[in-house]
Amino acid sequence: MNEASTIQPVTQTESVPFRCQLCGACCREVENSLMLEPMDIYQLGRLLRKRGEPIEGLEDVLTEYTHADLLMDCLPIFLLNTVGQDHACVFLKDGRCDVYEARPRICRLYPFSVAPGDCGKDFLYCLCTDRPHHFTGAHVSVKDWFHQNFFKDARQFLKTDYDALPVLGKAVREMGAKRFERMLFQFLFYRYYNYDLDQPFMPQFIRNTEELKKLAVEAAKGG
Ligand code: SF4
Ligand code: SF4
């Protein structure tokens, strides 16, 4: 699950020999490579809170389990922390994912992944070929894999996000570093913090994203 993975496009009609051997290799050597999306953080927050961790909002998950970085040299993002000499994901415990039911989308889809589509398609489907040892055994249908692991809410989230990120990136670049510094808290608030864990995610994400786009575009115009 490394962003530097070698990836190649696949179509829904293809099938790939794949058998997970539960070796945990894809959860190791992942320093600075596991970006959490707002939906991932929300789902982790709900699971960790249910387990009794002191999680009141998404900011508690971010503080405890992530560190900040920049996407496209301008957009603040959060990456999962790693531990140990093998730079294992902070959630890898005894060789198993400790948050399996709420694991991030990138983990859920691996060894496949998605990227923004073209020619009117919402997504480009890809195969990560960085760890050849698991391409063995029975064939897995690409269509079935995405049907079983890329749920409707994740598709809706990602499509909304793919539409919003270029708008935000352009606005942030146009407003320049000083003006962005002034709106940084607002950016973080609407992108990552302004969620109620007891309310459904998507309506909150859509509302926050619309507000953030409006603020960023106004700031880029000098407002
Ligand atoms: S997906 Fe591959 S690397 Fe990850 S645990 Fe399974 S076999 Fe190991
Ligand atoms: S969240 Fe779970 S599946 Fe994803 S890298 Fe961490 S331990 Fe592995």
Both structure tokens of 13: 């009609």
Query: Residue 192 and residue 57: Cα distance in Å, rounded?
Result: 10
Query: Residue 113 and residue 209: Cα distance in Å, rounded?
Result: 23
Both structure tokens of 70: 């920049």
User: What confidence tier does 5 reach under pLDDT thresholds 50, 70, 90?
Assistant: low
| Ligand 2 lined by 91 (C-beta under 6 Å) | yes
Nearest CA to ligand 2 atom 2: 97
Both structure tokens of 52: 């009794």
Distance 214 CA to ligand 2 centre (A): 34
Query: Residue 51 and residue 221: Cα distance in Å, rounded?
Result: 45
The domain locations on the chain are 7-148, 157-217
**Residue for token pair 């049907």:** 147
| Ligand 1 lined by 26 (C-beta under 6 Å) | yes
| Ligand 2 lined by 105 (C-beta under 6 Å) | no
| Ligand 1 lined by 21 (C-beta under 6 Å) | yes
Sheet holding 123-128, edge to edge: 7-9, 123-128, 112-116
pLDDT digits (tens, 9 = 90+) for 26-59: 999 999 999 999 999 999 999 999 999 999 999 9
User: What confidence tier does 75 reach under pLDDT thresholds 50, 70, 90?
Assistant: confident
Atom of ligand 2 nearest to the CA of 103: 1
Both structure tokens of 112: 């496949």
DSSP structure string for 140-184? EEHHHHHHHHS-HHHHHHHHHHHHHHHHHHHHHHHHHHHHHHHHH
Task: Look at residue 223 in the predicted model and tell me its pLDDT.
Answer: 65
